[in-house]
Amino acid sequence: MSELLRIQNLSKAFGRREVLRDFNLAIESGRVYGLLGRNGEGKTTLARILMGVIPADGGSVLYRSRPIAFGDSSYKREFGYVPEDPFFYEDMTVRGLLAFNARFYPKWDRKRAASDLERFSLDPKSRIRTLSRGMKLKLGLAVALAASPEFLILDDPTSGLDVPTRQDFLRDVIRELAASGTTILFATHLVHELERIVERLLVLCGGRLILDDDFDKVKAQHQASLEDIFVRLTAGA
């Protein structure tokens, strides 16, 4: 598997608080990465830096060996992003948001967008402001998937979903994407959700990765549930 993304010595601080410090990570294509971290550990910050939403204070990011500078936008055509807080333009309709996004992505899949709307029970005519948080998350996912991304960043997307939808999301959508070769970075603080889907486990603590290993290997090494492993690792950090 080839290297898709390399993050080197990434750092980011908000005021005096260092959220990311000398963060290093290599992501290989076609794998599902689970990024675990407690609240406020920098998962969203990392996702936003990778998506060019906020600038890093230092370090570099290479996508397919090409450095990405803050302000570059072309690489984002191959990135999908489902943010933790599903903020869209509230006055738009579901269809309007899809049409708005369709212009940005050359590999936009209209059929997929339509089928996902149906699958998630989203009415194309609905105004976004009328949707619940869960529905907005589904809409965000539909937009991200329709863009046919090479690399999908899911920033704690399931936290607002009801249990059946979360099950559906984790079981079907992620697996489907993984099967199609899409690289996924699934950031969450809900440890148990990763258990069924991740191939490689990343644990973020104190602004650094304290674990970056194959999930099966970690499981075999620790002989415990993921939740226990996580608690053990972060308690010692």
Partner 1 sequence: MFTALYLKEWREKALVFFFELGILGLLLAAPFALRGKTDLQEWLVYAILLLFFPFAALILGASGFEAEFREGAWAYLFSRPIGRPAIWLAKLSALLSMFAALWLVFLIAWAALPAVRQITSGPRVLLAPIAPLTWSGFPWWSLGQSLFLLMVAFSLSLLHERHFSILFVALILGLFFPAAAWSLIISKTGGFMAWLAPAKAFRTLLISQVLMALAFAGASLRTLVRSDFSQPRKQVRTFVGSFTVFVVLAAAGTVGSALFIPVPAERHLDFMGSSDGKAVYATERGLFSYNSASGRVRWLTRRRSVIYWFSSIANGRLAYTVQNFESRRDATEEIWLSNTEGTGRKRLIGRATPGAWPPDDSVQGLTISPDGRTIAVLTRNAARQGKSRPSATTTLWTINSDGSDLEKRSLEALFPDGPEENLWVAFVAWAREGKVLIILKRHSIRPVHWSLWAYDLERKTASKVRDSAVPASPWRRGNSTPRDLLVIQNRYRDEGPRTLALLNLVTGEETEIAGSEEPHSFSAQWDPTGEKLLFFDKRPDPEGRASYFLTVYSLTAGKAVAERITTDLDGIVHHYWTAWMPDGRSVLTLDIKGRCLRILGTDLQNTGRIDLPVRIKEPSGLEVVGDTVLLQDSGIHSLWRLDLGKMRWKRLY
Q: Give me the least distance between CB of 237 and partner 1, in Å please.
A: 25
Q: Find the length of the chain.
A: 237
Give yes or no for residue 180 binding partner 1 (CB under 8 A): no
Single out the residue of 47, 58, 52, 55 nearest to residue 77, CA to CA.
Answer: 52
Give bridge partners of residue 187 from the DSSP assignment: 35, 155
Q: Output the six-digit token pair for 117.
A: 């709307």
Q: Give me the least distance between CB of 157 and partner 1, in Å please.
A: 14
Residue selected from 23, 88, 108, 215 as contacting partner 1 according to rule CB under 8 A: 88
Give yes or no for residue 77 binding partner 1 (CB under 8 A): yes
Q: Tell me the site size for partner 1, rule CB under 8 A.
A: 31
Give yes or no for residue 90 binding partner 1 (CB under 8 A): yes
Q: Output the six-digit token pair for 23.
A: 């963060």
Say how many CA atoms lie within 13 Å of 217 toward its Cβ. 8
Which lies closer to partner 1 via its Cβ, residue 80 or residue 194? 80
Q: Give me the least distance between CB of 77 and partner 1, in Å please.
A: 4
Q: Give me the least distance between CB of 95 and partner 1, in Å please.
A: 13
Which lies closer to partner 1 via its Cβ, residue 33 or residue 79? 79
Q: Give me the least distance between CB of 124 and partner 1, in Å please.
A: 16
Q: Output the six-digit token pair for 107.
A: 């590999």
SS3 category, 27: strand
Q: Output the six-digit token pair for 115.
A: 């089928």
Q: Give me the least distance between CB of 225 and partner 1, in Å please.
A: 33
What mask of x and - would describe binding to partner 1 in positions 10 to 29, judged by CB under 8 A? Answer: ----xx--------------
Residue selected from 34, 42, 52, 160 as contacting partner 1 according to rule CB under 8 A: 52
Give yes or no for residue 165 binding partner 1 (CB under 8 A): no
Give the strands of the sheet with 66-68, arranged side by side: 17-28, 3-14, 58-63, 66-68
Single out the residue of 78, 18, 86 nearest to residue 51, CA to CA.
Answer: 78
Interior CA angle at 73 toward 114 and 99, to 5°? Answer: 25
Q: Give me the least distance between CB of 102 and partner 1, in Å please.
A: 8
Residue selected from 81, 151, 186, 215 as contacting partner 1 according to rule CB under 8 A: 81
Q: Which residue has the tokens 């049409």?
A: 99
Instruction: Please state, in angstroms and rounded to a whole number, the distance separating the CA atoms of residues 31 and 178.
Output: 7
Interface ranges with partner 1 (CB under 8 A): 14-15, 48, 51-55, 70-71, 73-77, 79, 81, 83, 85, 87-92, 96, 100-101, 103-105
